[in-house]
Structure 1
Amino acid sequence: MVRLVMILLGVDYLRTRWRSLRMMGAASLLLGIVVFIDALDGALYFPITPFAVLLLLEGLATLAVAWTGMGGQRTLRYAKGIAFSLAAALILAGHHHGHFALSMIFGTLFLADGLLQIVSAHVVRYRTWRLATIGGGVEIALALFFYQPYPTHYVGTVPYCLGLGLIFGGWNLLLLSTRVRRLVSNPAVDSDAERPDNSDAATRAAMTNIEWDGPPAADEAALTVHVWTPVGSAKGEARRQPIVDRYIAAVDRNGVISTGHAALEAPDGIYVSLYPAVEFDRSPDDFARLLRATRENDVPGVFQPDYATESKAWCPSTVQVRIRNYDPARLRRFWDAYRQDTTYNLTSRNCSSSVSRALEAAIEGASTRVWGGLGGVGGLGGWRPFLRVITTPELWVAAQIRKRAATMAWTPGLTLDYARALSMLADPRPSGWVRMARLAMRKMVRSRRLDREPADDPSMLRTLVSDHRATAAKTNEEQR
């Protein structure tokens, strides 16, 4: 999550606040340790009931406005509301059963994530696979801690989780403050070696405090992420395998594997689409060998010239994600450096990893451009951009996707979800309450117009039908 926050806020913003970030991280780390130790003796001083009530209110409030979300945002809000409400209900239920259920849930989540991380590290063998294996072992140890009843017979489950959350959050803030203290450019975007010029300030001022009520229009200039899903790009009829054919690969009736494809297109002509220069065998036997991110699996690659050429030679992309708020200069610097190397590797340097890196370069500083302005304490809008970023649920989703891709491999499915999450961070939408208030106001205005006009007025009926069709069309576009 540290690198993602660095990307969204930009080094210029974070470097001026490294001392405050360090103090916040140290305070969070110490508070987390205190809460965790307090729960070990079974005599809880943590106000668990008020915490559960607040959690329940947050869950119910999220569910109340979840329907106003768009596409994946709506799904995420429902998931968050249900999870918070369920956790709060189990806490308030108390006694042994509620605490036991929470412990089993958290333990299973840690166990599944740890095992997946270890297995994927040993299969792919990327550069830091040994560190990932250690991290997976730590998660399994935490799972065992939640599974066994000692020392509180599951009563301390919630303080344990809160304490761990504060500890990990504080540690991440300390890492963030240490990394940005002396940075000139952002290491999260490797090719961005030079500092941005002052033209970015004008762009930031022009975009201050903008919220978009939907995705970019068809005629609006925007960065486009094209994704060919494994099922959508399979040559033959694919055998459906839930999750596998969404995030890894699809296998058709003839046994041929399709991994899908991803590309990034910018309005100024940049097109990032890396493909192997010579198509290699993707039979199941050979595919297992190619999964390793080692040098012996490097092959020559080629960058496709543009979307029109690629879609005509193959097929149109299955899904597109469009983002308004991006920096063309940063994207251009990234592309000028990245395209010098045409090496292709199925797991470590493929089409999806290329698109994800290009997307990160393009949206660097996006949150500061929107929420920062040029004023506030310390410049760039004070702490408002930071608070907006860390309180947006899509940040957690994007961070988890990025972590999974880093420990396994970038795939078109992960790139699609990552682009969707980043689009909600770069092009912020109104909060659920704001959107619901707007819809209520529109309904009130239409009702008043209906009261003022005769019911049999043909022009009034035509206006109401037109408004209804426009609203329905906009809703359908947002869902897509």
Structure 2
Amino acid sequence: MILLGVDFLRSHWRGLRRFGWVTLIAGVVIFIDALDGTLFFPIEPFACLLLIEGCATLMVAHSGMGGQRVLRYVKGGAFTVAALLILAGHHDGNFVLAMIFGTLFMFDGALQIASALVVRYRRWRPAFWGGIVEIALAIFFFQPWPSHYEGTVPYCLGLGLAFAGWNMFILANRVKSAAANPGLKGAVFMEEADIPPLKVVEWDGPPSDDEKALTVHVWTPAGSAPSETIPRPVISRYIAAVDRNGVISTGHAALESPGGVYISLYPAELIDQSPDEFVRLLRATPENNVAGLFQPDYATEAAKWCPSTRKVRIRNYNEEKLKTFWESYRQNESYNLTYRNCSSSVARALEAALEGSVGRLWHKRGFWMAMGKLMSTPELWVALQLRKRAETMAWTPGLVLDYARALSMLADPRPTGWLNTSGRALKKMLQRRAAWGKGKSEESVTED
């Protein structure tokens, strides 16, 4: 909804709703079909398609840039391993898949329940019950009833299709009557028709330093700590880093645009981040709100502290939507460590600036082409998971950094299809061969 935009989706809400119904019914039928252990759904052809996609992705993964390369390897490896386990068949392959899926559901559900009880964000009760459902699904995968693990793959496929169809149906109903994007908070947006479409739909890499682009600045917890930190890779990246003196550093995030918008929220007075007080401050409740202070610009902030340790730059954004959001958001200067902090401010501003960015790129090629391009890009799934985790826990500089990187590859798309990549590789080989032949001809003329 954020990336395609409400105006782009509203004109196709009927098609979205039909597609949602078809997907939902297909998911329910596939799930019920697997309950008796006698499968009518063609698992082997599905696994072969999965294997082809995984191998093709691995073949061209090296052509990605930065995080895109890693994500391609992860996607290709996961598809290939899952396909091989499905094709292995019988008890062993299905049992291993059931244990993997059960563990993932159990871990995600437990994490969601714990974060709901600790942070107490606005929708923590629905999230708590959602975690209960995930743990119930984990138990369902762990135990052999009713198909002795033979239905593991159809169960997952059916659940995935059913939930996707239901979400598509809800999306269609929301965009049917929405005046603005209900996924974004604190802003009123212009009509998308006022924004000229971009002529370029794909770029070879990130913006150059002299190119006009939106910039997300991130001071990582370890990089901004006052002294050497204790090595804790995942915790230090996504939550906080602790130095040798026991001081906690959470890092910082800010957003800067060429149009003069700079969003960087600090607490007006330093918050006590000792281990005893830190746990209490995790509650996203009104009693933890304190006075906040917006920094004037990046140059001033960097001079007072230090330059940002990471930057993510995005070409395809809307300056006017960002300014509209900023004018509304800056009216409230309160600060909350988990609910309204520097990172959540940047995440919401980034979403406001990118609202409709993908729809602007692909609207001339048709709605389903835009949907297909978006859904086939692995960074969409990554952005979704990061946003879900941040909304149910708290936005942190580490989450904002990875979220901005994923959104940058969606708003400024790079060529991702393996056929396109293979075609470019072949074209480059022919160009090199032609250049080599030309060089040999010139050398022959020189010798004569």
* TM-score normalised by structure 2 residue count: 0.96
Asked if 1:355 corresponds to 2:346, the answer is yes
Which sections of structure 1, spanning at least 5 residues, go unmatched?
1-5, 461-480
From 439, 449, 456, the counterpart of 2:435: 449
Separation in 1, partners of 2:441, 2:125 = 73
Asked if 1:438 corresponds to 2:424, the answer is yes
The 8 Å contact of residues 9 and 175 in structure 2, kept in 1 or not, is answered as: yes
User: 1:57 — aligned with what?
Assistant: 52
The 8 Å contact of residues 208 and 372 in structure 1, kept in 2 or not, is answered as: no
From 358, 363, 368, the counterpart of 1:367: 358
User: 2:162 — aligned with what?
Assistant: 167
1:198: Cα distance to partner?
Answer: 4.2
From 117, 136, 139, the counterpart of 2:112: 117
User: 1:12 — aligned with what?
Assistant: 7
Any idea what SS the aligned residue of 1:372 has?
Answer: helix
Paired residue type of 1:450 = W
Separation in 2, partners of 1:179, 1:385 = 19
Q: Kindly report which structure 2 residues correspond to 1:51-450, keeping only aligned pairs within 5 A, or say none.
A: 51-196=46-191, 198-200=193-195, 203-204=196-197, 207-208=198-199, 210-373=201-364, 381-431=366-416, 432-450=418-436
Any idea what SS the aligned residue of 2:291 has?
Answer: strand
Separation in 2, partners of 1:327, 1:448 = 42
Q: Any idea what the Cα deviations from partners look like across 1:228-284, whole Å, max 9, x if unmatched?
A: 000000000000102000100000000000000000000011001001011111111
Separation in 2, partners of 1:384, 1:118 = 38
After TM superposition, the runs of 4+ consecutive aligned structure 1 residues lying more than 3 A away are: 454-457
Separation in 2, partners of 1:437, 1:256 = 53
The 8 Å contact of residues 63 and 82 in structure 1, kept in 2 or not, is answered as: yes
**What is the percent sequence identity of the aligned residues?**
62
Separation in 2, partners of 1:126, 1:58 = 39
1:449: Cα distance to partner?
Answer: 1.9
The 8 Å contact of residues 228 and 261 in structure 1, kept in 2 or not, is answered as: yes
Separation in 2, partners of 1:368, 1:196 = 13
* TM-score normalised by structure 1 residue count: 0.90
Separation in 2, partners of 1:309, 1:455 = 59
Paired residue type of 2:275 = P
Q: Any idea what the Cα deviations from partners look like across 1:194-250, whole Å, max 9, x if unmatched?
A: 4327431xx21xx14521000001100000000000000000000010200010000
Separation in 2, partners of 1:97, 1:179 = 44
The 8 Å contact of residues 68 and 436 in structure 1, kept in 2 or not, is answered as: no
Any idea what SS the aligned residue of 1:78 has?
Answer: helix
User: 2:30 — aligned with what?
Assistant: 35
The 8 Å contact of residues 191 and 333 in structure 1, kept in 2 or not, is answered as: no
Any idea what SS the aligned residue of 2:3 has?
Answer: helix
Paired residue type of 1:422 = L
Paired residue type of 1:173 = M
Any idea what SS the aligned residue of 1:181 has?
Answer: helix
Paired residue type of 1:326 = Y
Paired residue type of 2:57 = T
Any idea what SS the aligned residue of 1:262 has?
Answer: strand
Task: Check 1:195–1:268 CA distance in 2 against 1; reply closer, same or farther (3 A cut).
Answer: closer
Separation in 1, partners of 2:367, 2:124 = 38
Separation in 2, partners of 1:293, 1:264 = 23
Any idea what SS the aligned residue of 1:226 has?
Answer: strand
How many residues end up aligned between the 2 structures? 443
Separation in 1, partners of 2:189, 2:359 = 19
Separation in 2, partners of 1:293, 1:87 = 39
Task: Check 1:97–1:278 CA distance in 2 against 1; reply closer, same or farther (3 A cut).
Answer: same
Any idea what SS the aligned residue of 2:246 has?
Answer: coil
1:79: Cα distance to partner?
Answer: 0.5
The 8 Å contact of residues 208 and 369 in structure 1, kept in 2 or not, is answered as: no
Separation in 2, partners of 1:199, 1:34 = 44
Task: Check 1:230–1:83 CA distance in 2 against 1; reply closer, same or farther (3 A cut).
Answer: same
Separation in 2, partners of 1:245, 1:23 = 45
Separation in 2, partners of 1:255, 1:436 = 52
1:452: Cα distance to partner?
Answer: 2.5
User: 1:476 — aligned with what?
Assistant: none
Any idea what SS the aligned residue of 1:410 has?
Answer: coil
1:430: Cα distance to partner?
Answer: 1.1
The 8 Å contact of residues 184 and 195 in structure 1, kept in 2 or not, is answered as: no
Task: Check 1:382–1:288 CA distance in 2 against 1; reply closer, same or farther (3 A cut).
Answer: closer
The 8 Å contact of residues 262 and 273 in structure 1, kept in 2 or not, is answered as: yes
Task: Check 1:15–1:456 CA distance in 2 against 1; reply closer, same or farther (3 A cut).
Answer: closer
